[in-house]
Copies of this chain bind each other. A is one copy, B any other.
């Protein structure tokens, strides 16, 4: 037996017991005739006590211990003289009567503490040591709890977990597939699923009624920051439901997670249309932890224009002039304002410039465009923004779509700078009524905004032939703190409508049949109305963990080149392997 207890388990009530502990040497303090060794495992830390008076031999053995050695200690639980209230085992120590070194350790390449001196690269290379740090393990413990809670909650609501296959068929629509050559079927390839979409829909045709799965999905994309080639989804589908049923069900799941994991209670999640989200926040995933909504000083079709005709050519010539009001930011220095201008002019954001207007204590306005806008004009701005003394108005101009995107970035920056985006604050939001289709200039055809299986809103169905670009989808996203946590839709369940959709997306009937024939055929054998949702599980965990990056919530993540630097994958194959595959 390696241990009778864990290193986090013993209390003052255990005093006098003979016990055995196993774990890692966390700290050694040698004090002449005495020594203290902290022994650590996943469950906690316990102090081992050595004393020349008890055993000189053991004291000498303790003196030879190094950090991260794996040891087994036998001894008696005793009350400590100087207690440590920080530690759950801090009232006791172990008077050691036997000590075995189970394994030695070289000096780790970085310190195994919450504040480590290891950089990203070295920690990834030695990920197994990085995972030994409490903070990292705590992230994965959170992930473990979240997974169990999600499954138990959904199981209670009659969702059935069904494993869908990983070796499936490549479908060029959407992102790029990872593919797998088939040795038994030479010249043919499997693909790894980007999502189990078609399979879960088939399960609805099968009458499974409610399906879920926490499942790995794969996308061969050029990795932007914080994307992983393999990622995990909570994937769900329900039959005989409308949008409202799904929102209720998964709002319930989220409330359950917030309540049990964070002790937070929520009322109904607010809802916002895609159109409003774009108009008010310039984003389909607005962070509503703070207000600072967009105000349009000029925009097509809104009937307002507080900027034109003042000889300011920039504002005269553009489609839209939109701003935000940063509460209490009038004290921004010239340097800070220049910093904001530089921020929006960065190529990634691409604005031409930034106009500011600050509201002084006396209510007057001072702006960077005083030359063109007099006090009265600026008071009209102030009124439009509902600005008060001490506020700072920031205004961008240009093409409406680009300006909204740019102003979204500026708003988020201001939210951060003003401390309005605490990771302890959670503000969920449903975004609804997305467009069904997006026009792609490059390929000169429509793309599905969600995916080709999403149904149009019933009230927009009549526009499918005449004005497909105006059709709204029966789709919904769950957004928390500006992060898209999940999304889904009510699906098409009618063969004719599905064929029409493929047609709009530029598929010939033959292509549609070749790729998705099995699904369209299935729709002819009694497909029920159905819909679903998929939640990004890595993202959900990082959000609950209060972290920015999903990488800290994945045990063995890949870097931005898709490499696992620890095991050094991908790697070159044996020539015999390639030969067997006919490659």
Q: A572 touching B187 by the CB < 8 A rule?
A: yes
Minimum C-beta distance from A185 to chain B (A): 5
Q: B184 touching A528 by the CB < 8 A rule?
A: no
The answer to whether A566 and B518 touch (CB under 8 A), given A70-B528, A103-B526, A558-B167, is yes
> Across the two chains, which residue of chain B brings its CB closest to A156?
B148
In this complex, which of A68, A128, A144, A162 has the most chain B Cβ atoms within 10 angstroms of its Cβ? A128
> Across the two chains, which residue of chain B brings its CB closest to A217?
B166
B-chain residues with CB within 8 Å of residue A129 when the two chains form the complex = 205-206, 525
Q: A2 touching B556 by the CB < 8 A rule?
A: no
A349 within 8 A of B: no
The answer to whether A43 and B132 touch (CB under 8 A), given A189-B573, A216-B166, A577-B177, is no
B-chain residues with CB within 8 Å of residue A143 when the two chains form the complex = 162-163
Minimum C-beta distance from A200 to chain B (A): 10
Minimum C-beta distance from A219 to chain B (A): 11
Q: B568 touching A222 by the CB < 8 A rule?
A: no
Within 8 A of B (CB), among A148-192: 148, 151-152, 155, 160-170, 172, 176-185, 187-192
- A 224-244 binary contact with B (CB < 8 Å = 1; else 0): 000001101000000011100
A208 within 8 A of B: yes
A278 within 8 A of B: no
Q: B518 touching A206 by the CB < 8 A rule?
A: no
A220 within 8 A of B: yes
B-chain residues with CB within 8 Å of residue A583 when the two chains form the complex = 583
Within 8 A of B (CB), among A1-15: 1-3, 6
> Across the two chains, which residue of chain B brings its CB closest to A232?
B163
In the complex, the count of this chain's copies comes to 2
A563 within 8 A of B: yes
Question: Among the listed B102, B137, B240, B566, which residue makes an inter-chain contact with A529, where contact means beta carbons less than 8 Å apart?
Answer: B102
Minimum C-beta distance from A2 to chain B (A): 4
Within 8 A of B (CB), among A49-84: 68-70
Q: B148 touching A106 by the CB < 8 A rule?
A: no
Question: Among the listed B127, B524, B571, which residue makes an inter-chain contact with A189, where contact means beta carbons less than 8 Å apart?
Answer: B571
Q: B164 touching A556 by the CB < 8 A rule?
A: yes
Q: B3 touching A137 by the CB < 8 A rule?
A: no
Q: B573 touching A207 by the CB < 8 A rule?
A: no
A483 within 8 A of B: no
Minimum C-beta distance from A553 to chain B (A): 10
In this complex, which of A144, A165, A528, A566 has the most chain B Cβ atoms within 10 angstroms of its Cβ? A165
The answer to whether A190 and B569 touch (CB under 8 A), given A2-B240, A2-B242, A132-B207, is yes
When chains A and B are docked, how far (Å) is the Cα of A73 from the Cα of B563?
Answer: 55
Q: A522 touching B128 by the CB < 8 A rule?
A: yes
B-chain residues with CB within 8 Å of residue A166 when the two chains form the complex = 166, 192, 216, 218, 230
Q: B22 touching A568 by the CB < 8 A rule?
A: no
Q: B190 touching A570 by the CB < 8 A rule?
A: yes
The answer to whether A163 and B555 touch (CB under 8 A), given A105-B525, A187-B572, A493-B103, is yes
> Across the two chains, which residue of chain B brings its CB closest to A66?
B526
Q: B525 touching A106 by the CB < 8 A rule?
A: yes
> Across the two chains, which residue of chain B brings its CB closest to A169?
B569
B-chain residues with CB within 8 Å of residue A103 when the two chains form the complex = 493-494, 523, 526-529
Minimum C-beta distance from A65 to chain B (A): 11
Q: A525 touching B131 by the CB < 8 A rule?
A: no
> Across the two chains, which residue of chain B brings its CB closest to A67?
B526
When chains A and B are docked, how far (Å) is the Cα of A183 from the Cα of B175?
Answer: 13
B-chain residues with CB within 8 Å of residue A580 when the two chains form the complex = 176
Nearest 6 A/B pairs, CB to CB: A105-B526, A169-B569, A131-B206, A2-B240, A188-B570, A68-B526
